[in-house]
Chains A and B, each alone.
Chain A
Amino acid sequence: MLERITLERRANPGTVLSIATYSGALALAIVLSLAVIIAAGVPTGALFEELIVQVFFSPAGLARTLTMATPMMLAALAAALCLRLKFWNIGIEGQLLLGAIFATTVALYDIGGPLRLPLMLIASALGGALWIAAPVLLKLRLGVSEVIVTLLLSNVAFLFLQHLLFGPFGDTSHNFPTSPVFDETEKLVRFGFGDTNLGLVIALIAVAAIAVMIHRLRFGFASRFSGDNARAAQALGFNTNRIMLVSILLGGAMAGLAGGVIVSGTEFRLTQAVGVNMTFNGIVIAALARNEPLWIPLVSFCIAGLNVASATLKVFYGVSEGVVLIIQGIILLTLVTCQFVATYRVSISPAATNRGLV
């Protein structure tokens, strides 16, 4: 059987095949995910109620889903901006934490007077950009793999957060590692619908701004070109290094802003839980949205729903939080594996000289 199978790269998969591949992968991922949830002990009859109705159609559930989707959109932008230039940002959590730390610093030291809240958000974006500056510069100057550096810097950022929470930023009124609660002027406005807050609008504006940049501005065109074929872009006189630097710093800034929005919009203080699993959420959302900013809000909404549902499943059915992680892994693996169908043409030739799947 295997003897006669050969692979060929498709020059252009075409719209129909691309959409069919994507939908097929999604369907397969959903079936596998449901199987995992059922195996984890959720009764089949409760699936629709818990995963769809409670999360998207009940007011409380919808509010929680929208609140959770807010930082996820920004984290996904961070992943997508970097991935478009084939830069693997696997340290979104680290940039997010730095953003949260910078925003908290502005809040705790009462910097900026009446402009404190905008200053907190700007500081958070700066913190995120700062944390990704080292990996991108190391990659551009010395060719150091960004994969390992961004990963390790995430661990460093988390240890730095712990240092602050158990030290200078710690709230001395209780024994839990959190910062003191922010003042009223340091909190984003709430809409009166659960915890949803101005952060949602900020995230949507960021999505729109980046979509405009990528699709309408000269810089966006150059960065798309540079991401598709860096060598050709360079040959045509584009400064690919500068394009990469600016895009990646912008990506880091988005991750930082996610941290700023979390502390000023929902948590109102710095905690150890800020940013948990955000790297993976961001990358999965970006992969599902195929790095297209305009798809990010919808995908974030769905993935946020999954996370919200997991909290309920944990309480009512004793399902571990690890299950969400497994499902996200399954979605990502299914998605990249099924890409095979659109990327390669499989031909079965009668010649018996080829061996294996080559």
Chain B
Amino acid sequence: MIEFLTAWLASLPGFMTPLLLASVGLIMCERVGVLNLGIEGVMALGAMTGAVVALAGYGPWPALAAGAVVGVVISIPFAIAVIVFRAPQIPAGLALVAIGIGTSEAVGRDAAHKPFAGLEAVALPEALINLPIIGRMLFQQDSVVLLALLIAAVSAFVLYRTHHGLRLRAVGEDPATADAAGVNVQIYQIAAVVTGSLLIGLAGAYLSVGGSQIWTEGMVAGRGWISLALVVFAQWSPVRAIFGAALFGGAEALIPRLQILGLEVPIYFLSMTPYVLTIGILILISLRGRARQVEPGFLGRPYIRQDR
């Protein structure tokens, strides 16, 4: 039992980190009113880019950076479409999914199924790692795990404790009022979507460079969609997203552990649990009626000054 707990907890941060980065990225977008359904495609492209750069021998950090940058590049047409041209956000986001997944398949064909050297765990004293149960979870992790937690904390600070954060939230909540107060709505939206896409691209790159150290088509496997639900669960707060990511990542991390135990549950039903859990949590949130209250007021709608 202790062995099982130790192994499960040790694998949890690896599953939690991409979800956390992606959902903090989404929170940035949604806080300015932009629903970025493209996340699944941007993550796919980030994962592929990270793998290609790592396979070329540039090392894990340039690989992660490349994934993040490509995440921004691919999101620029989407940002221009929905922010400048006020395109409906759901179909524009879906188009981004197709472009992202399509590009990752077309460009990454030769990089698929080739293992490479990815991120290593930070070297810490054996004594710490050998602590019972929590040793490996806390002290045998790569540095992106810590970086993701820092990013969540910094994002929360920026959103709630700075002038820019206040303006950013105002843009998503009530752009007319923000506009009247002299905030340049479109500039804030573009800045937030670019920052968010950077984190989403990084989340994708971490999947290949940090997690599996190999890239295969379809490896994002709905984690983008799960992050969308995670944002609702976190009530658009980066700090709550940490707990959400731990919960969803923990459930996901349980699957390979239970398989090793040789549990009698059929494997494909076991693999359904993250998706079913996500739907269940969405239902619970709706039953409590909290989501509507805290959702950014202008989420998914185009703003023009005429509406003021």
**Chain A contacts to B: CB under 8 angstroms:** 6-9, 40, 88, 90, 138, 142-145, 147-149, 151-153, 155-156, 159-160, 162-163, 166-167, 280, 283, 287, 319-330, 332-333, 335-337, 339-340, 343-344, 354-358
The distance in angstroms between the C-alpha atoms of A156 and B271, with both chains bound, is 9
Query: Bound state CA distance, A152 and B279, in angstroms?
Result: 8
Beta-carbon contact of B283 and A322 below 8 Å: no
Which residues of chain B have a CB within 8 Å of any CB of chain A? 37, 41, 77-78, 80-81, 84-88, 90-92, 94-107, 109, 179, 184-187, 221-222, 225-226, 228-229, 232, 266-269, 271-272, 275-276, 278-279, 282-283, 286-287, 291-292, 304-306
Cβ–Cβ < 8 Å partners of A328 in chain B: 95, 98, 102
- A332 contacts B282, C-beta separation under 8 Å: no
Q: How far is the CB of B180 from chain A (nearest CB, A)?
A: 11
Evaluate contact between B306 and A88: CB separation under 8 angstroms: no
Partner of B102, one of A7, A322, A335: A322
Q: Which residues of B contact A329 (CB under 8 A)?
A: 41, 94-100, 102
Q: Given the known A-B contacts A142-B283, A159-B271, are A152 and B95 also in contact in the complex, defined by CB atoms under 8 Å?
A: no
A162→B103 CA distance, assembly (Å): 26
Question: Cβ of B103 and Cβ of A333 under 8 Å apart?
Answer: no
- B228–A148 touching, CB < 8 Å: yes
Name which of B84, B87, B105 has the most chain A CB atoms within 10 A of its CB: B87
- A155–B222 touching, CB < 8 Å: yes
List chain B residues, Cβ under 8 A from A321.
105
With A7-B306, A326-B103 already in contact, the answer to whether A356 and B269 are too (CB < 8 A) is: no
Task: Please name all residues of chain B whose beta carbon is closer than 8 Å to the beta carbon of A149 when the two chains form the complex.
Answer: 279, 282
Closest chain-A Cβ to B84's Cβ sits at a distance in Å of 6
B81–A333 CB distance below 8 A: yes
Contact: B268 with A163, CB < 8 Å?
yes
Q: Can you give 13 A-B contacts (C-beta < 8 A)? A: A40-B106, A88-B90, A148-B278, A162-B268, A322-B105, A325-B105, A326-B103, A329-B102, A332-B95, A339-B87, A344-B304, A356-B184, A358-B185
Given A7-B306, A326-B99, A330-B99: A336 and B92 interface contact (C-beta under 8 Å): yes
In contact, A330 and B304 (Cβ under 8 angstroms): no
Query: Within the complex, which residue of B179, B229, B292, B304 is in contact with A148, where a contact is CB–CB below 8 Å?
Result: B229
Given A149-B282, A326-B106, A354-B305, output 12 extra A-B contacts at Cβ < 8 Å. Answer: A6-B305, A7-B306, A90-B94, A148-B225, A151-B225, A155-B225, A163-B267, A280-B97, A283-B91, A344-B304, A355-B184, A357-B84
Q: By the criterion CB–CB under 8 Å, are A142 and B287 in contact?
A: yes
Determine the distance from Cα of A9 to Cα of B301 in the docked complex, in whole angstroms: 14
CB contact under 8 A between A160 and B86, given known A155-B275, A329-B96:
no
Q: How far is the CB of A325 from chain B (nearest CB, A)?
A: 3
- What's the least CB distance linking A288 to chain B, in Å? 11
